[in-house]
Amino acid sequence: RERTRPTRLERPGRTADGHRVALLANVGDPEGAAAAAATGAEGIGLFRTEFGFLGRTTPPTIDEQVTAYARVFAAFPGGRVVIRTLDAGADKPLPFVTPRGEPNPALGVRGLRTSWSYPQVLDDQLTAIARAADGATSDVWVMAPMVATADEADAFVALCAEHGLAQAGIMIEVPSAALRAGQLLADARFASVGTNDLTQYAMAADRELADLARLSTPWQPAVLDLVAAACAGGAAAGRPVGVCGEAAADPALAPVLVGLGVSSLSMTARALPDVGAVLATVTLEECRGLARLALDQRTADDARAAVRGALPVLEELG
Ligand code: PEP
Ligand code: MG
DSSP label at residue 207: T
Residue 267 contacts residue 248 (beta carbons within 8 Å): yes
Name residue 171's beta-bridge partners.
192
Neighbours of 2 (CB within 10 A): 5
**Helix, strand or coil for residue 266?**
strand
Measured between alpha carbons, how far is 220 from 19 in angstroms, rounded to an integer? 26
ipTM: 0.99
Using the atom order of ligand 1, give the atom closest to the CA of residue 195. Answer: 3
Does the CB atom of residue 84 touch ligand 1 within 6 A? Answer: no
First-residue to last-residue Cα distance in the chain = 12
Q: Whose CA is nearest to atom 4 of ligand 1?
A: 194
Measured between alpha carbons, how far is 273 from 251 in angstroms, rounded to an integer? 10
Give the number of whichever ligand sits closest to the CA of residue 28: 1
Task: Let me know how many helices (H) and strands (E) the chain has, helices first.
Answer: 14, 8
pTM of this structure = 0.96
Using the atom order of ligand 1, give the atom closest to the CA of residue 247. Answer: 3
Q: In the prediction, which pLDDT does 100 show?
A: 85
Walk along the chain (318 residues) and give the pLDDT tens digit of each residue.
455 677 899 899 999 999 999 999 999 999 999 999 999 999 999 999 999 999 999 999 999 999 999 999 999 999 999 999 999 876 778 889 888 888 898 999 999 999 999 999 999 999 999 999 998 999 999 999 999 999 999 999 999 999 999 999 999 999 999 999 999 999 999 999 999 999 999 999 999 999 999 999 999 999 999 999 999 999 999 999 999 999 999 999 999 999 999 999 999 999 999 999 999 999 999 999 999 999 999 999 999 999 999 998 998 887
Give the number of whichever ligand sits closest to the CA of residue 265: 1
Neighbours of 126 (CB within 10 A): 23
Neighbours of 187 (CB within 10 A): 20
Q: In the prediction, which pLDDT does 3 show?
A: 58
Does the CB atom of residue 243 touch ligand 1 within 6 A? Answer: no
Does the CB atom of residue 268 touch ligand 1 within 6 A? Answer: no
Angle at which helix 119-134 crosses helix 62-75, to 10 degrees, equals 40
Q: Output Rg (C-alpha) for the chain, integer angstroms.
A: 19
Using the atom order of ligand 1, give the atom closest to the CA of residue 192. Answer: 5
Dihedral sign (CA 176, 139, 25, 256)? positive
For residues 102, 103, 105, 106, the Cα torsion angle rounded to the nearest 10 degrees is -150
Name residue 242's beta-bridge partners.
192, 264
- Residue of 87, 173, 217 with the most ligand 1 atoms within 8 Å of its CB, for mutation: 173
Does the CB atom of residue 237 touch ligand 1 within 6 A? Answer: no
Measured between alpha carbons, how far is 215 from 203 in angstroms, rounded to an integer? 6
Burial 41-60 (b: 16+ CB within 10 A, else e): bbbbbbbbbbbbbeeeeebb
Q: In the prediction, which pLDDT does 117 show?
A: 93
